[in-house]
Amino acid sequence: MRTEDLIHFCAPGRLIIGNGTRHQLPQLLARLGYRSGVLVTDAFFVEKTPWVHEYTEAAGRLGIATLVYPGGLPDPTTQLCDEATAILRQQLGGEQPDHVIALGGGSNIDLAKALSLTLPQGQPIGAFTGDIGGCRPLPLIALPTTSGTGSEATPGAILLDPANATKIAVMDNALRPQIALIDPEFTYTCPPKVTADAGIDAFTHAIESFLTLDCARFDRGGSPDPGYSGRSALTMLFAKASMRLCFAWMERAYQHGDDTEARVGMAYASIYAALSYGTAGLNAGHGIAYAVAGQTHKSHGSTNAVMLPYVLDALCGTRQSELAEVAGLMGLATSCPDESARRVPVAVRAMIGRLDIPTDLRAFGVEERMLDALVTDALAVTRLAKAFPVADAALAYRQIVLNAWEGRLSGQA
């Protein structure tokens, strides 16, 4: 317990975890009274797996009609959402669905969240950026097929605006899924690169939220129902549980994709990380990673990974005791807290290298002339910069980017 905490914790309405639990979903939805749904996924899951057909057939036998939208794409755009809204509303013929199901990774879940807002009235998703107002989205059921993004427990949908190549956030606690169903069997066939990207994303969520701004100091903008509200003793419990699982299973899942124990371990690591960052929020790691992605167009997991060690290094002063605690989880602790803390970024960078992800910006393809723009773009994500627990975020961001380009960590030999 921390007596100074001001906790505002939100989670999915129902959380279901376990191998084969997807088979329970039709009966659960029938029990809850749902009768007409839209299932948002992509062509791969429709054409290459039995999961969509199995669900629609089982749901149909219980009187639940399901319209499948297979047009999900990586990094969904606002344009894709608006086009999908028009297509689905035409196919529904004026009927109103009573739920939306998302099957896939974070991109499909984000698209489904957006559609839960746009389908009732046919409004463009741009009408909901910043604040969804009094709109009540359709109930959402999320079935993640990767162990990493945590979208099944968060209050936001991230979409790309093709007009200016920037990401927009549609944010409200009403967008948290009513049901998050984590079936590790969905992840068993994930290829190694997807496993690595998703796994390091989960780990980044856990450690970044473990070190972020305290809830007593977090700027909630006067909202009585903030989507993010800073770290608390409660979120930190989930973060530590996630990190332990990542250290135990992440590399094993990457190296041995048929290791079902490792797959289950990472499924738990991912949802625990989501339960932490889905309330605590994130900061510089993701803020700078968004800017790196804008320049390189590389995957979210890898852009997080290349920045993470250098962000951690910048926190060795203000978050020394917490990083020393992480060092203990990694078996790196010494009698000196400062030395223990500085060992963590070095060990995390080595772990990222073992996942075959580049460990500095130069190796990642970022040119030196791009560094100033990188800092500017990262600082423009103000909600994340404000949550970075340092005295001068602008100065810290610049040093982090320079260190990441040069591959320099304070604790390295």
pLDDT per position as a tens digit, 24-34: 999 999 999 99
For residue 313, the cross-strand partners are none
Mean pLDDT value across the chain: 96
3-state secondary structure of 7: coil
* 238, 273 contact by CB (below 8 A): yes
- Categorize the per-residue pLDDT at 161 as very low, low, confident or very high, splitting at 50, 70 and 90: confident
All residues at 6 or more sequence positions from 119 whose CB lies less than 8 Å from its CB, including other chains: 38, 85, 88, 89, 92, 97, 100, 138
* Distance, CA of 282 to CA of 208 (rounded, Å): 6
Mean pLDDT confidence for 323-350: 98
Average the pLDDT over each of 156-165, 195-204, 299-308, 335-344 and give the range with the smallest value: 156-165
State the DSSP string of 289-301. Answer: HHHHHHHH---HH
Nearest to 106 by CA among 27, 15, 205: 205
Please report the domains of the chain, with CATH numbers, ordered by start residue: 14-187 (3.40.50.1970), 192-406 (1.20.1090.10)
Answer whether residue 163 shows pLDDT above 90.
no
CA distances from 92 to 38, 160, 189 (A): 9, 26, 33
* 396, 316 contact by CB (below 8 A): no
pLDDT at 132: 87
Element (H, E) at 15: strand 14-17
* 28, 13 contact by CB (below 8 A): no
Answer whether residue 1 shows pLDDT above 90.
no
Mean pLDDT confidence for 45-54: 98
pLDDT at 169: 87
Answer whether residue 129 shows pLDDT above 90.
no
Six token digits for residue 174: 């009403």
- Categorize the per-residue pLDDT at 166 as very low, low, confident or very high, splitting at 50, 70 and 90: confident
Better-predicted residue by pLDDT, 163 or 216? 216
- Categorize the per-residue pLDDT at 167 as very low, low, confident or very high, splitting at 50, 70 and 90: confident
Q: Tens digits of per-residue pLDDT, 255-311? A: 999 999 999 999 999 999 999 999 999 999 999 999 999 899 899 999 999 999 999
* 203, 242 contact by CB (below 8 A): yes
* 205, 300 contact by CB (below 8 A): no
* Distance, CA of 4 to CA of 223 (rounded, Å): 19
Rg, C-alpha atoms of the chain: 21
Q: Tens digits of per-residue pLDDT, 197-217? A: 999 999 999 999 999 999 999
Whether the predicted model's global pTM rises above the 0.95 cut: yes
For residue 36, the cross-strand partners are 65
Average the pLDDT over each of 132-141, 222-231, 333-342 and give the range with the smallest value: 132-141
- Categorize the per-residue pLDDT at 131 as very low, low, confident or very high, splitting at 50, 70 and 90: confident
* Distance, CA of 228 to CA of 384 (rounded, Å): 11
Answer whether residue 134 shows pLDDT above 90.
no
> What percent of the chain has a predicted confidence (pLDDT) above 90?
94
Residue located via tokens 């996924």 = 41
Three-state secondary structure string covering 65-84: EEEEECECCCCCEHHHHHHH
pLDDT at 164: 75
Distance of CA 413 to the CA centre of its chain: 33
For β-strands 14-17 and 179-182, DSSP reports them as parallel
